[in-house]
Amino acid sequence: MASTGEPSKGESAPSAPLTLAQLAELAGVSTATVSKVINGRSEVGPATRALVEKLIKEHGYRRQRRRIKPASLIEVVFHELAGDYPIEVVKGVQRVAWAHGLSVVVSELGGRHIPEPKWIGDLLTRRPTGVITVFSGPTDEQRVRLVNQEIPLVVLDPAGNPGRGVPSVAATNWSGGLEATRHLLELGHRRIAMITGPAFALSSRARLDGYRAALDAAGVPVDPELIRQGRFQIEDGVTHTHALMKLPDPPTAIFAANDGQAIGVYHAAHELRLRVPDDLSVIGFDDMPVWRWAQPPLTTINQPLSEMGATAAAMLISLARREPLQQSRVELSTELVVRQSTAAPRS
């Protein structure tokens, strides 16, 4: 029997995406208001915007056939522009962007890990080919607005859960924490302290978990007094090293969750008249070029920030071309780099 093309009894027909007029009718607003929401205009009340975005999320939106051409640029958004970390990331993004005839625009969130409301309006005005957020990420509402405008998003080194279906690029932070601690254990250290990053950061928690796993595998109990929470800042290394070295049984080695904190440990060791590595071994995480010139040169875990940037840019360009990604969550390998800041403890 030939099909009539109509749904059978009890079977609902798949809903087609709604037009501008249909969305306006459902929301009880004008088509102009719906258009403002879709185009990221600011002059719409939050309740109306939330309703329209909810309807779009539930039903979809039937777009005009002529797609607005985006600007030939990739926007890279950092929570903070400080140190070598953003420079290394931008180098990788820029290498791939230039190869595809795209420019790179860099913006900063003033230390915030979630963009403020004004950010999305400004970004939609620029209408880039795509957005890479670094150690930060947009809210659910902001992600919906990017989707509505067909602006792809990739999260690099996500501070938290990047969101369902959002592509991300990170490093093997757990393995890096494991290798850093294992290196110190193999040198003979048993009192190994760790200065972590902020508790909300996925990378920080993974590095701490790697540290604990290495101690557990070696049969060394984890001493909570030797774990100090930092913020990935140089002063964390200074402050926590002073406190750690005042313990009745101080550490013989410190694993800092990034190179900046490790240099803070160096400063504190100098103030305490301790020699690195004779009196205290120090290992960092990142392998920033500038710290290779520290005295002594810093043993660290190489995090391939430039390659992470290049990978994120390549993923973004594929998404902009509507090409499927081979992987939506990518982790690039870390590697132990042994220099002169670690040695066997004094017997």
- Using a cut of 0.85, tell me whether the model's pTM lies above it: no
Residues 215-246 as b or e (16 or more Cβ within 10 Å = b): beeeeeeeeeebbbebbbbbebbbbbbeebbe
Asked if residue 74 lies in contact with residue 129, where contact means CB atoms within 8 angstroms, the answer is: yes
Integer Cα distance of 55 and 39 in angstroms: 15
* pLDDT one-digit tens code per residue, 180-215: 999 999 999 999 999 999 999 999 999 999 999 999
Which residues in the chain show pLDDT less than 50?
1-14, 65
pLDDT at 14: 43
Q: Are 214 and 206 in contact (CB under 8 A)?
A: no
Cα–Cα distance for residue pair 315/313, rounded to 1 Å: 5
pLDDT digits (tens, 9 = 90+) for 110-149: 888 888 888 888 888 888 999 999 998 888 888 888 888 8
Residue 146 and residue 132: Cα distance in Å, rounded? 12
pLDDT of residue 62: 62
Strands (E) across 109-263 are located at 128-134, 153-156, 168-171, 192-196, 227-229, 253-256
pLDDT of 2 reads 41
Q: What is the pLDDT of residue 125?
A: 85
Which residue from 68, 33, 31 is spatially nearest to 49, judged by alpha carbons?
33
